[in-house]
Structure 1
Amino acid sequence: MRAIDLLNGRLKLRHLVLVVAVADHGSVLRAAEHLRLAQPAVTRSLREVESLLGVELFTRGPRGMTPTMFGDAFVEHARAVLAELRRAGERITGLADGEVGTVTIGTLLAGSNVLLPRAIAALKAGRPGITVIVQEATFDAQVPRLLDGEIDLILGRLNPIGDLRGLRQITLYSEPVRLVARRGHPARDRPGLGLADLLDYPWVLPLEQTALRSELEQVFGAAGLALPGDLVECTSILTVRTLVRDTDMIAALPELVARTDAEIAPLPVPLEAVRRQVGVTLPAHRAPTPSARLMLDHLRREAAEITGLVEAG
């Protein structure tokens, strides 16, 4: 099959929808139920796609349908095409009235508890018809979905994008990272408290694939120290804050996260080497939808106010 054969009209939009549904649901039967089609019709359409491509997209087994390497590749592109079509529909709607739409935000720890809620509230006050979807995950997990068009932007501490082409980043503000503990933590009574002294207590650290975890590892290494042996790995802000409040655990949190909880406070151990840039990561070659552009505008406005809060200490 030549690539141009996909453009001769035999490959239909319904084929893309069907293949993605089979991949998502793991069986022809569940895909048919989801699409409200008869199972024979789904089976016949799947055979049409495989015949057109000249390859098998799924292997059939007792546990359902598993994508082959050809299936994985085709599903990836099918998702991107369908996402672009959804975005095209939203753009037309947005240009028509500017009152409805959807913006999907992938969020990281920094910016999620102050900046994002304020920006969402401001957006909804002016455009109540816009639906905002917030999904939390690590940066590495968010990037493929951003590139596929499933999310519009990633908000949080800016990670180095390295060799990941097709991304651009916008810095919104700088925010220090602090080591924090509950206000009655016994470490607060130790004179001349240093990083080494904090190894006597349990810690909660970000997951290994996060930028903040890497930077904390560098801080410990520069001090000639190993990572704490007694630790929990977690990126859920609610879980981290509860562990710090209710136990002797120590965590590294963005300053605004720590400042919004009256029961925890920074420890007098600086983290000067940790990066502080909070911003958004966007696709480099895809314009934001009208809804996403409005969200960006509100993020910028709220970030300008937050900059004043951070600088005021």
Structure 2
Amino acid sequence: MTIRRYLNQRLKLHQLRALEAIVAQGSLLRAAAVLGISQPALTRMLQELEEVTGQRLFDRLPRGVRPTEAGMMLAQAARRILAELRRLDEALDRISDPEGGTVAIGTLPVAATGVLPGALTRLTAEHPGIRVRLEQGRTEELLPKLAAGEIDLIVGRLYEPAMPDGFPREPLWEEPISIIARAGHPVFEEAEVTLETLRRYDLILPTVSQRVGQEIENLLALLSLEPSSSMRSSSYGFIREMLLATDMISVMPRLMMAGDMLRGVLRVVPLPVPAPQRPAGLILPRGRPLPPAGHAFVACLRAHVAEIGERGLAAITGRHMGGRENNRTAARPGG
């Protein structure tokens, strides 16, 4: 028997926001805190939603909740509906302020600390009316949001997808794992940097998970640098201060320190072995054009990446997985 739910008449936007928050947080308590309402009020809202849909939307677990098939289906629709409303809101803003608008950017961690600040500084200077929404995460976390229209594009490392996903990928630069040291470090006085040279200095390493961390570990193994004697920190600021104040060296994607290298206070140490290529750039939406603010951001990103390339900090590429960065060239000050 077919149930007439009349969702177009009975569903309310605040219910969709509540459902999205519960799925995202995996807990009624945390979702209530995010929404700024009490947990009993959120529970009543969920009960109303289950009554409207005629479906159980979540399974209760010892700690938190897990969406059922119906709950996940409704959450995905909620994301699309709310994203469409955000885009409508932004389109109406553009009517009143053609030079303004909003761009929603998903960013991977390395890009967030590396190329993005310079690109956004340029965007603010050239287009002061544009607003920016940033969301940081891993590629697998950001792609569903790109598909749903919650973000306009993704900036960062371009990993090959396990399966074709239809998202256009546009490589713009290479961000190799590199050895980083302060500009006045004794290592730059060496006629040739060897593995023995590198082993004289203590390491300060970023605490990063997933694929970036594995790539750092792979290069450490390739160089036979002993990670057990290293110091590790998840704080970009702490690593920076230790590099500037001591003779420690670091191993990381070099553009994590792009600002300091552009200012000339940190430099890339030439590696005695080739570094694996690491293309980075844009992941764009499927079948949906960028908003005008998105095009303005991409233009500023290209200009900033070109400046980084001119300073010798990164190879500029137009081919996905193309070219090999070898770190062999002695970096200029700031390069």
Whether TM-score is above 0.5 comes out as: yes
Moved more, 170-179 or 81-90: 170-179
Q: What are the equivalent positions in structure 2 for 1:208-219 lying under 5 Å apart?
A: 208-211=209-212, 213-219=213-219
1:129 and 2:129 correspond: yes
User: What residue in structure 2 maps to residue 202 of structure 1?
Assistant: 203
Q: Which amino acid in 2 is paired with 1:272?
A: P
Alignment size in residue pairs: 308
Q: Could you tell me which amino acid in structure 1 is paired with residue 291 of structure 2?
A: T
State the SS of the aligned residue for 2:94.
helix
Q: CA deviation at 1:57?
A: 2.3
Partner letter of residue 283 of structure 1? P
Distance 2:221 2:259 in 1: 26
Q: Cα gap change, 1:239/1:76 in structure 2, threshold over 3 Å: closer, same or farther?
A: farther
Mapped pair 1:51 → 2:51: yes
Does the CA-based 8 Å contact 1:83-1:148 persist in structure 2? yes
2:267 match: 265
**Alignment-mate amino acid for residue 230 of structure 1:** S
Q: 1:2 to 1:10 in 2, by over 3 A?
A: farther
Q: How far did 1:130 drift?
A: 1.8
1:226 CA drift (Å): 7.0
Mapped partners of 1:33, 1:269: distance in 2: 50
Of all paired residues, the percent bearing the same amino acid is 30
Structure 2 unaligned blocks of 5 or more: 316-331
Q: Offset at 1:86?
A: 1.0
* 1:218-252 alpha-carbon deviations (Å, 9 max, x no partner): 445556x4762234555654343223223424223
CA distance in 2, matches of 1:59, 1:186: 60
Contact 2:206–2:236 under 8 Å retained in 1: no
- Give the Cα–Cα distance (whole angstroms) in 1 for the partners of residues 252 and 279 of structure 2: 15
Counterpart AA for 2:210: Q
Contact 2:193 2:272 in 1 (8 A): no
Aligned to 2:309: 307
1:166-205 alignment, distance < 5 Å: 166-174=166-174, 177-183=177-183, 185=185, 193-195=193-195, 198-199=198-199, 201-205=202-206
TM-score where L is the length of structure 1: 0.74
Taking structure 2 as the reference length, what is the TM-score of the superposition?
A: 0.70
Q: Which amino acid aligns with 1:34?
A: G
The C-alpha deviation readout for 1:126-184, integer Å capped at 9, x for no partner, is 43222123444444444444344333322233333332624322222345553112356
1:104 aligns with 2:101: no
Amino acid at match of 1:268: P
Distance 1:244 1:106 in 2: 29
Q: Deviations over 1:165-204 (max 9, x none)?
A: 2432222234555311235656567775433653553240
